[in-house]
Amino acid sequence: MENIFSSQKVNCGRQSELDIAKGLAIAFMVLVHTFELFSGDPFPQTASSHIIEFLGSPPAAPVFMLLLGVGIVYSKRTSAAFLFKRGIIILIMAYALGLFRDVIPSFISSVINEDSEIFKDGVLELLGVDILQFAGLTFLFFALVIKLKLKIWQIFSCAIVFSAIGAILGETSTGIFGLDVLAGLFWGSWDRSWFPFFSWIFFPVSGYIFGTVLMHCNNKTDMYKRILIISAVLLIPLTVLSYNYGIKFGAFGDLWQQQYYHQDLFGNIVLTVFSLFWISLLYFLTLPFKNRGFNTLSRWSKNVNQIYIAHWIILGILVYIFMEGPLSIRTIVGMSAVILIASDLIAYLYLKLKPNYFVNKQNAQTFKA
């Protein structure tokens, strides 16, 4: 069998298939967030809602987090000090986002509606563990990895151990609210711990390994062909096992959200295999158009931090405007498209108006791949 790998770094620079995968993940993210906020509770059990939930789950956050790991490999700034600083900044940014997305709009709404529970809920949302908090912890983890000069097998072993600890702890509460908020950064200690570190670190680590392999690949087409075939074959029994045991990752069932957010090792493996399948599939689907470019998806991929923050602030305001009853699927899809366009524009203007010094620093994107 032909050796498609080199001991040298032969495949550097931006990888268009990864930009496309990340750009689509952003679009799916905006769609599913809009759906979950405005579709009502419980979610409507329709074909449209199942499709939206699926798009907003396997090809969204898992792919997003896997590419975070790839980005660390491909980044030109990977010192332990830089990664540590980046992790702290992202954690601060995560809670600052909660202030503008949750606390301030909920306070205004609570005053207007004379209902203090609205403000209380906004504060609880601020304390929740969203994907930015997890990303911050991930950068701190990789700062330690670089500092200790851990090898690939050691990093992967850490991911296995963390996943096992997360599965053992499950949704165990400490019994003390303040400790649950802190513990929620690591496992599902309370109902607003959506992206606990132990349940999700498997994806960035897998991405780190995948990025290392990709950088040393001198024949991407052959590599992706192998990945596509192997992952497609593996997905069949893994999907059957998932549904036979009632594990439904982001598509069907009343309890899918807890299973999705608080995954065990099996869930990590299923969604990592899917992520590799999805990326390799996108590579071949877009291969005939490689010279035409995917400028919009590429821009979304580069501006992911700004789009993420902008779309959540917009949603944080809209959720208090459309408080009366659920919206139709058609309205939600249209609204998500408008929010994505507005967030893209805000991100573009923000970066354009920033002083050149900060623009240059911004080129080291949090989720650069």
Residue 68 lies in a domain: yes
Residue 217, strand partner residues:
5
Q: Which pLDDT band, with edges at 50, 70 and 90, does 250 fall under?
A: very low
Residue 322 lies in a domain: yes
Instruction: Write out pLDDT tens, residues 106-136.
Output: 999 999 988 899 999 999 999 999 999 999 9
Instruction: Write out pLDDT tens, residues 194-238.
Output: 999 999 999 999 999 999 999 999 899 999 999 999 999 999 988
pLDDT for 148 equals 96
The encoded tokens of residue 324 equal: 């009366």
Residue 193, strand partner residues:
129
pLDDT for 5 equals 83
Q: Which pLDDT band, with edges at 50, 70 and 90, does 363 fall under?
A: very low
Residue 11 lies in a domain: no
Contact present, 284 and 222 (Cβ < 8 Å): no
Cα–Cα distances in Å, from 85 out to 22, 142, 258, 306?
A: 24, 11, 31, 18
Residue 76 lies in a domain: yes
Contact present, 218 and 11 (Cβ < 8 Å): yes
Longest CA–CA span in the chain (Å) reads 71
The angle, 0 to 180 degrees and rounded to 10, between the axes of the packed helices 152-169 and 265-286 is 130
Taking the whole predicted model, whether its pTM rises above 0.95 is answered as: no
Residue 349 lies in a domain: yes
Give the number of domains in the chain: 1
Instruction: Look at 43-47, 127-131, 174-178, 339-343 and tell me which has the smallest mean pLDDT.
Output: 43-47
Whether 368 shows a pLDDT value over 50: the answer reads no
Q: How far apart are CA 261 and CA 249, in angstroms?
A: 9
Whether 52 shows a pLDDT value over 50: the answer reads yes
Q: Which pLDDT band, with edges at 50, 70 and 90, does 40 fall under?
A: confident
Q: How far apart are CA 92 and CA 98, in angstroms?
A: 10
pLDDT for 247 equals 55
Q: Which pLDDT band, with edges at 50, 70 and 90, does 364 fall under?
A: very low
Residue 83 lies in a domain: yes
Residue 49 lies in a domain: yes
pLDDT for 163 equals 94
Q: What is the mean pLDDT of the chain?
A: 88
| Structural domain range at position 55 | 16-362
Radius of gyration of the chain (CA): 20
